[in-house]
Chains A and B, each alone.
Chain A
């Protein structure tokens, strides 16, 4: 297992290098010189490769660059943006899972019943509802209209502690993102649970006299979680990268919002730095998903060298 994780970690580093090289290359296609833009005018003479290597060296040293457009270091921008996004998307993902797993399981267990149809309709509605539309409706009825139960914007105080404790202001953005995410997870969960319910080991468990609760809880649930874990792993970049539209609607200058704005204004240092962080999250998510497979599925674990 340790060797497996080490090997995957090494692969992750290679992937990260390739990702940064691609991003640096894509930015070089834009007007201007990405090396000069990210490293300063003194680097304007550098070739693409030397510019990339210089940027990479500084990243390793902890220097992500400086945004001349905003007059701030990328690190300080990241420090201010990341906590908000982590709390927003992290909490909403956890909540979405907490809701979606039992909903999907219930749908599978009661396949074809009214419960299944109603829940399917609701999950599809959540899945199909644009986040901005849903968020605007929530703001209108829960923040703008009396009795103003929640805040109309996300937390504005700096630091992750302030963001976490500002439940009133964080509720609507979290609910918005949770509702649009829960549909995806629930659909995956239902599909996986249906697949598990048709497996021989379920029939065997029932034949052994296991109660329905044990069959579902001990056999179906665990095996159904594998595809959900895959989805969760793939969601990690989004958790770090943020949800641009929700952040914009709720005045949250999070990772997604800042990255979007930086890309639009050709702010190369910020674009590079933030993309790197999202890429790290993507690679990490994939790695964690692989490890989780091994934990959840003995067949995968036993196949490892």
Chain B
């Protein structure tokens, strides 16, 4: 199933292969320059020659100083004059890139990230089930296109709400759901699939998908699976598609592509739609993409990522009484640039909704979830939202050089000992963060987290001596000529380096990480430093987020060794059962972790038929896997939202869905 990966504080979804899908969210990228304390630089004053030279520059400065400021300001305080528009800051180096709401393995991972799906596609094309009730990642019945599914044995029945309409006047029908299901089945058969073959996963494990009436879809699950899991992790992926898209050419009638009725016809439709989505500049004028069932339509999107969306007057879902009618999404090069703009209330574009880089955030008081705003942002309200996610980075167990080392549990324990999560939280995260210790997020609070892991505390807190001791104990020692530790006692015995590790193998690793996030850079540098103290050499290479994700989730790419992009948001696999991230051969299992006990535990969670059985299976699975350290756990961190005073955006949910049609300016 797909998940979204996020950069910075969001998640993004990597691509899905035939064997699996995955969502993750991608975060920001790009470093921000630190704000400096000091006096302004004063120009020297000369005589005639210099004065003449300065005149030109001075004129420019004067002209600028006297020029009109476009922001509506008074004494540095912003008063929104246009209460119909919201300007929304995107994460650095991210932008909307793809409008077709269908995940295909051939597309770049960035197309499936939070900023492209949640902040763009979902605003126009609603998922069948909308997750996010308050802060919790639960189904929101008001915003879902269908009522909760019902089950009769292995038959699932989905009843759509007859009230939802496409902007061309047609109803959102059962056939629209089947259209999506058929396309996924077709693309999956071509090895270009959407989700994958995790147990019970769509499309392979369902059959008889039928529109039995205008608003009722039925399908049969080919196995015994948890109903909650099927709803939260499988049906959650479906985005109904209008019949206007079931075409293979520009002048065809809706449905003429026959994908909604015949899987074999879907590939041609997919190719046409993908081709139509290949130019972002056409999104605003395209009749095809103008058919939406969501509350927003694209007015314009340029190559630089500047996106303007207008409210869809024909939207049939709930809206706020005096909601905004225009949403402008603004891309940024760095989070520092965004922060500068946030602090400038007279700029050409005053941000209504932005974010505060954690490195610039005042440390919150002990026990408080959020601290004060910087003095330059008194016109904004600060809130901290912990996404429904875990933060980690994977080992590449398939790397021929270092994979055998990563497969040794003692090594993973030693490596996790080198991660100073508290240091990262108290350092670059300025107190905003929670240590990650297992595969299930502990924020927001849900019943999915085992009591054992819910007790908190980091059992792998920074302990360099213990890391060194573990390595020495297993045959790793300093070579005579210096350098990183090398294996001096190969073999698979209890005090040996481990199976597949040859004598003389050095503890030397390459580590790619997403650029642009100050906290991530700091954490990576500190980890490399700690590793050197333990006798390891970690070579750091920053890369753009989608480049890191592209490498990490490419099952054919065995060259990377350690790769960090940020976090994995459980979206749209809202139930954190682990089959997407940790099951053997799952496409989202970056690095190829494999453990038969873990696989069996995961299957038990998927097949639990009662809440009690599900909880028992969940706890058993996560308690075991937390100790196996299949990935390097990192601190989860909140999104620090800055919302201009006067604007009400409600409660942001942990699934990071946004609903601008519910935003309004208080009078």
Mark A residues whose CB is within 8 Å of B. Answer: 31, 66, 68-73, 76-77, 79-81, 95, 98-103, 105-106, 115, 118-119, 122, 125, 129, 132-153, 155-158, 166-171, 174-175, 178-179, 245, 247-253, 257, 261, 264-266
Query: Is B622 located at the chain interface by the 8 A CB criterion?
Result: no
Q: Among B64, B277, B278, B279, point to the contact of A149 (Cβ < 8 A).
A: B64
How distant is the Cα of A66 from the Cα of B278 in the complex, in angstroms?
9
What are 8 sample pairs from A and B whose C-beta atoms fall under 8 A apart?
A71-B279, A80-B303, A99-B57, A119-B44, A119-B50, A137-B38, A153-B337, A265-B547
Q: Among A105, A146, A149, A253, point to the contact of B333 (Cβ < 8 A).
A: A253
How distant is the Cα of A73 from the Cα of B53 in the complex, in angstroms?
42
Shortest CB-to-CB span from A180 to chain B, Å, is 11
Asked, given contacts A136-B36, A265-B547, whether A99 binds B53 with beta carbons under 8 Å apart, the answer is yes
- Chain A residues lying within 8 Å of B93, measured Cβ to Cβ, are 261
Contact: B61 with A148, CB < 8 Å?
A: no
Shortest CB-to-CB span from A81 to chain B, Å, is 8
Contact: A249 with B97, CB < 8 Å?
A: no
Contact: A136 with B303, CB < 8 Å?
A: no
Contact: A71 with B280, CB < 8 Å?
A: yes
- Chain A residues lying within 8 Å of B68, measured Cβ to Cβ, are 168
Asked, given contacts A98-B53, A136-B36, A167-B64, whether A253 binds B331 with beta carbons under 8 Å apart, the answer is yes
Stretch with Cβ within 8 A of A (4 or more), from B251-259, B339-347, B436-444: B339-347
Asked, given contacts A80-B302, A103-B50, A249-B337, whether A133 binds B36 with beta carbons under 8 Å apart, the answer is yes
How distant is the Cα of A179 from the Cα of B562 in the complex, in angstroms?
41
Contact: A144 with B340, CB < 8 Å?
A: yes
Mark B residues whose CB is within 8 Å of A. Answer: 30-31, 33-36, 38, 40-41, 43-44, 46-47, 49-50, 52-54, 56-57, 60-61, 63-65, 67-69, 73, 75-76, 93, 95, 97-98, 108, 110, 277-281, 302-306, 330-334, 336-338, 340-341, 343-349, 376, 515, 542-544, 546-547, 550, 557, 559
Contact: A144 with B343, CB < 8 Å?
A: yes
Residue of B nearest to A248 (CB): B333
How distant is the Cα of A284 from the Cα of B65 in the complex, in angstroms?
36
Q: Among A105, A138, A166, A251, point to the contact of B40 (Cβ < 8 A).
A: A138
Contact: A156 with B348, CB < 8 Å?
A: yes
Contact: B40 with A142, CB < 8 Å?
A: yes
Contact: B44 with A171, CB < 8 Å?
A: no
Q: Among B33, B54, B64, B333, point to the contact of A135 (Cβ < 8 A).
A: B33
Q: Can you list the 5 inter-chain pairs with the closest CB atoms, starting with the nearest?
A: A102-B49, A251-B337, A152-B344, A152-B340, A171-B64
Q: Among A132, A134, A148, A265, point to the contact of B69 (Cβ < 8 A).
A: A148
- Chain A residues lying within 8 Å of B57, measured Cβ to Cβ, are 95, 98-99, 175, 178
Contact: A148 with B53, CB < 8 Å?
A: no
- Chain A residues lying within 8 Å of B69, measured Cβ to Cβ, are 148, 168
Contact: A156 with B60, CB < 8 Å?
A: no
Contact: A70 with B65, CB < 8 Å?
A: no
- Chain B residues lying within 8 Å of A248, measured Cβ to Cβ, are 30-31, 33, 333-334, 337
How distant is the Cα of A157 from the Cα of B70 in the complex, in angstroms?
13
Asked, given contacts A105-B49, A134-B41, whether A71 binds B341 with beta carbons under 8 Å apart, the answer is no
How distant is the Cα of A76 from the Cα of B305 in the complex, in angstroms?
12
Shortest CB-to-CB span from B101 to chain A, Å, is 14
Q: Among B281, B331, B340, point to the contact of A72 (Cβ < 8 A).
A: B281
Residue of A nearest to B46 (CB): A106
Contact: A71 with B277, CB < 8 Å?
A: yes
Q: Among B60, B341, B543, point to the contact of A152 (Cβ < 8 A).
A: B341
Asked, given contacts A265-B546, A265-B547, whether A132 binds B348 with beta carbons under 8 Å apart, the answer is no
Contact: B49 with A103, CB < 8 Å?
A: yes
- Chain A residues lying within 8 Å of B40, measured Cβ to Cβ, are 137-138, 141-142
Q: Among A68, A79, A146, A151, point to the contact of B347 (Cβ < 8 A).
A: A151
Residue of A nearest to B551 (CB): A31
- Chain A residues lying within 8 Å of B345, measured Cβ to Cβ, are 148
- Chain A residues lying within 8 Å of B108, measured Cβ to Cβ, are 68-69
Shortest CB-to-CB span from A124 to chain B, Å, is 12
Shortest CB-to-CB span from A66 to chain B, Å, is 8
Q: Among A71, A139, A171, A247, point to the contact of B340 (Cβ < 8 A).
A: A139
- Chain A residues lying within 8 Å of B38, measured Cβ to Cβ, are 137
Q: Among B73, B98, B336, point to the contact of A71 (Cβ < 8 A).
A: B98
How distant is the Cα of A31 from the Cα of B347 in the complex, in angstroms?
42
Shortest CB-to-CB span from A68 to chain B, Å, is 7
Residue of A nearest to B546 (CB): A265
Contact: A265 with B544, CB < 8 Å?
A: yes
How distant is the Cα of A145 from the Cα of B344 in the complex, in angstroms?
8
Contact: B61 with A171, CB < 8 Å?
A: yes
Contact: A119 with B46, CB < 8 Å?
A: yes
- Chain B residues lying within 8 Å of A31, measured Cβ to Cβ, are 557, 559
Contact: B53 with A169, CB < 8 Å?
A: no
- Chain A residues lying within 8 Å of B330, measured Cβ to Cβ, are 156
Contact: A70 with B303, CB < 8 Å?
A: yes
Q: Among B76, B95, B559, point to the contact of A146 (Cβ < 8 A).
A: B76
- Chain A residues lying within 8 Å of B56, measured Cβ to Cβ, are 95, 98-99
How distant is the Cα of A153 from the Cα of B92 in the complex, in angstroms?
14
Shortest CB-to-CB span from B351 to chain A, Å, is 10
- Chain A residues lying within 8 Å of B76, measured Cβ to Cβ, are 146-148
Shortest CB-to-CB span from A267 to chain B, Å, is 9
Contact: A156 with B306, CB < 8 Å?
A: yes
Residue of B nearest to A70 (CB): B97
How distant is the Cα of A149 from the Cα of B76 in the complex, in angstroms?
11
- Chain B residues lying within 8 Å of A71, measured Cβ to Cβ, are 97-98, 277-280
Given contacts A264-B515, A265-B543, 8 further A-B pairs with CB under 8 A are A99-B53, A133-B33, A136-B34, A140-B36, A249-B333, A249-B337, A264-B542, A264-B544
Residue of A nearest to B34 (CB): A136
Shortest CB-to-CB span from A184 to chain B, Å, is 15
Q: Among B49, B73, B338, B376, point to the contact of A106 (Cβ < 8 A).
A: B49
- Chain A residues lying within 8 Å of B98, measured Cβ to Cβ, are 71
How distant is the Cα of A245 from the Cα of B32 in the complex, in angstroms?
10
Residue of B nearest to A119 (CB): B44
Contact: A257 with B333, CB < 8 Å?
A: yes
How distant is the Cα of A153 from the Cα of B306 in the complex, in angstroms?
15
